[in-house]
Amino acid sequence: MTAPILIWGAGAIGGTLGAAFLRAGHQVTFVDQAADHVAAINVQGLRIAGPIFEDVVHATALLPEQVAGQHPLIFLCVKAQHTGAAVQALAPHLAADGMVVSAQNGLNERIIAEGVGAARTIGCFVNYGADYLEPGVVHYSGHGAVVVGEL
């Protein structure tokens, strides 16, 4: 079994990445600051809408202040302007040998590295379309590359 994945930011990119991991059999927990989105995911699941596939995936969703314990793998999927605050919030929950993957819009790896260290920061390029539609629903609009590599 692979390490559980914490998706920090369950909007367009985080929601679709998390859904892909769930569909592949990984254990995923979503973290988002929008209480209505977290509640919707916990009650009805996260619905992925769009022309490629439609699906509802089920996983636990938490508000940042509800996160507990240490996590070996955190995908950071928040908007660029929220990177610093998100790194401060997630850092206490990153396992000593854990990694943060920056699956964000923009080049935010330097900000992440300042908070958790360059050796624990992994860059990621996401090249597909996705949108947050409403609480519990994201739109996946097409295939595209996801490239993950070291900083």
In sequence order, what DSSP letters do the residues of 120-139 get, joined into one string? GEEEEEEES-EEEEETTEEE
Closest to 77 in 3D by CA, of 30, 116, 28, 42: 30
Architecture of domain 5-150 in CATH? 3-Layer(aba) Sandwich (3.40)
pLDDT, position 105: 82
- Could you tell me the pLDDT band of residue 145, with boundaries at 50, 70 and 90? confident
Domain boundaries, the chain: 5-150
Are residues 82 and 11 in contact, defined by beta-carbon separation less than 8 angstroms? no
Per-residue pLDDT at 110: 95
150 pLDDT higher than 80: no
Query: Is the CB of residue 21 less than 8 Å from the CB of residue 52?
Result: no
Residue 112 to residue 5: CA distance in whole angstroms: 17
- The answer to whether 67 and 31 are in contact (CB under 8 A) is yes
pLDDT of 122 higher than 60: yes
Q: Which two tokens stand for residue 100?
A: 């943060």
Six-digit token pair at 27? 């254990």
Give DSSP secondary structure letters for 28-91. EEEE-S-HHHHHHHHHH-EEEESSS--EEE--EEE-GGG--S-EEEEEE-S-GGGHHHHHHHHG
pLDDT tens digit string along 15-45? 999 999 999 999 999 999 999 999 999 999 9
151 pLDDT band (50/70/90 cuts)? Answer: very low
